[in-house]
Amino acid sequence: MADDSRWLLCPVCHGKTRVKVRADTDIRNLPLFCPKCRRETLIHVKQRKVFVAREPDAQAPDA
């Protein structure tokens, strides 16, 4: 059995993070921290493709 896991790359600076994923990994709403640019980004992963999660804008409270 071959090791088919790869490191996730930061969607901002494209640096290597400390998270490895396999080809069959599906992740939703992962707060990914990058030690290189020191940013945290909310991501989704599907079949090794990284998608930046869009966070909803803050809503004004109902008056």
pLDDT of residue 60: 63
CA separation (Å) from 47 to 13, 51, 62?
Answer: 21, 11, 40
Closest by CA position to 52, among listed 44, 60, 62:
44
**Where do the domains of the chain lie?**
6-52
Tens digits of residue pLDDT in 13-58: 999 999 999 999 999 999 999 999 999 999 999 998 999 998 666 5
Position with higher pLDDT, 49 vs 3: 49
